[in-house]
Structure 1
């Protein structure tokens, strides 16, 4: 018999990357409503204005008025000092009575989808993409787990915002598919190595975001481009709010197999 789902995420420290827009911004909003008083959000992105606007919005929310601490860290995840600044801010925001440390690895870029795989001969270009989308996720996760080691009575959760592209190849999307597949495997390995950490690869589905706009206009492969255009025209794109509610359901029920890849349509 399964235990009943929780109604909140506890008194938690929540770190969210790519929080300034799109799905990350929605995760920050939705998560703030599920945190007990005394919790803290550490929001990071490269866009200072959008981060500050979100911080102000959350400060005026019910959670903000109840004492939710919201810290913003403007950081480039591909730079070591950017990762260090996130961990430093997280340590400052943390308090000993917190019973949950939750990291959401959301930040990601689409990469150049206007070309096919055989055109990527510049190693520096590929390395730059993988640094932002793969290396930074591993290094930030490792740094957070070291900064907040296992303690009795404390839950640690790591969420990777994944994609169908982690499992299925899309022509002219070699960078994005490679990055998403690598991240999924990275967190599956983490789940094997750290059984006390709850690890989730969540694929949020085709979201109505700026990334989808780029996909419809820049994708080189005509069939892939048409599939995205048709989804948009037929109203099949999901709102960030609809997908995020499924992620929150997974986290509250906490019944998934650690390390699993779960698609929004499976929830």
Structure 2
């Protein structure tokens, strides 16, 4: 079970509605635990993922650890954000938390997939395959963010923050990772535009670094570019992968300090 970084317990993110996508495992699960420590009583933590059983396990563990002491309302939404109905279901669950007493709206767009990294760009000749990938990783993130911001419009006393879990791949091309790099680059630009259009919304793209997760295991096993695959294997064997907790702690500090330029892309290693 993941606790928040020590030394931050005296600070908090206010009475908030905090929405985390991809919250059932890996990085999203860790962020759910870390954020639970930083929300004032009366806050709602909305956990979104495709797998109900894993979501409920996260909820039960959070409630056991933190629910009683800070009266945190943890809710689960089983939804596939690749599909319109999944996005609508998530929005409806968010709207059911509407309260004039909420001080902070925090949306963390964490849900993402690696895509087929065993192939190179010239093999992706089927537009439907590409569109399926972009539907979750780009379209879903934009539509959910837009819907949430519409449901919780600007008002006095409400702070609104949107986080995009990004990657070095948003800035640097990785051979055989054309889908992932494209999706991450598109998301970064999408949120940069949002920051320009909505100056009252705090927008952050955070690259968490190479995390020791199932996605990293998939990268080590299936990356079509052998140089890249060997580099990931070397990082793993030499203990250079980051824990989700270590990376999440830096994101928590960024959110608590709240002094980043809105729309910025910040990397774990730059902080």
TM-score, length basis structure 2? 0.95
Structure 2 counterpart of 1:158: 162
Q: Tell me, in whole angstroms, the C-alpha distance in 2 between the residues paired with 1:64 and 1:44.
A: 22
Q: Tell me, in whole angstroms, the C-alpha distance in 2 between the residues paired with 1:181 and 1:54.
A: 30
Preserved contact between residue 67 and residue 73 of structure 2 (Cα < 8 Å): no
CA positional deviation for 1:102: 0.4
Q: Tell me, in whole angstroms, the C-alpha distance in 1 between the residues paired with 2:83 and 2:46.
A: 18
Superposed CA deviations along residues 95-130 of structure 1, whole A, max 9, x for unmatched, are 220100000000000000000000000110000000
Flag the 1:217–1:155 CA change in 2: closer, same or farther, 3 A: same
Flag the 1:160–1:121 CA change in 2: closer, same or farther, 3 A: same
Which of 122, 135, 141 is equivalent to 1:137? 141
Structure 2 counterpart of 1:256: 260
Q: Tell me, in whole angstroms, the C-alpha distance in 2 between the residues paired with 1:255 and 1:65.
A: 29
Flag the 1:22–1:64 CA change in 2: closer, same or farther, 3 A: farther
Superposed CA deviations along residues 72-102 of structure 1, whole A, max 9, x for unmatched, are 0000101111111111111112322010000
Q: Tell me, in whole angstroms, the C-alpha distance in 2 between the residues paired with 1:195 and 1:51.
A: 33
Report SS of the residue matched to 1:60: helix
Preserved contact between residue 33 and residue 63 of structure 1 (Cα < 8 Å): no
| Matched residue count | 263
CA positional deviation for 1:193: 0.2
Alignment of 1:13-162 (within 5 A): 13-162=17-166
Question: Where does the alignment leave 5 or more consecutive residues of structure 1 unmatched?
Answer: none
Superposed CA deviations along residues 166-201 of structure 1, whole A, max 9, x for unmatched, are 000000000000000000000000000000000000
Q: Tell me, in whole angstroms, the C-alpha distance in 2 between the residues paired with 1:157 and 1:171.
A: 33
Question: Where does the alignment leave 5 or more consecutive residues of structure 2 unmatched?
Answer: 1-7
Output the aligned Cα RMSD: 1.0
Structure 2 counterpart of 1:216: 220
Report SS of the residue matched to 1:101: strand
Q: Which aligned segments of 4 or more residues in structure 1 are displaced greater than 6 angstroms?
A: none
Structure 2 counterpart of 1:233: 237
TM-score, length basis structure 1? 0.97
Preserved contact between residue 36 and residue 66 of structure 2 (Cα < 8 Å): no
CA positional deviation for 1:62: 2.5
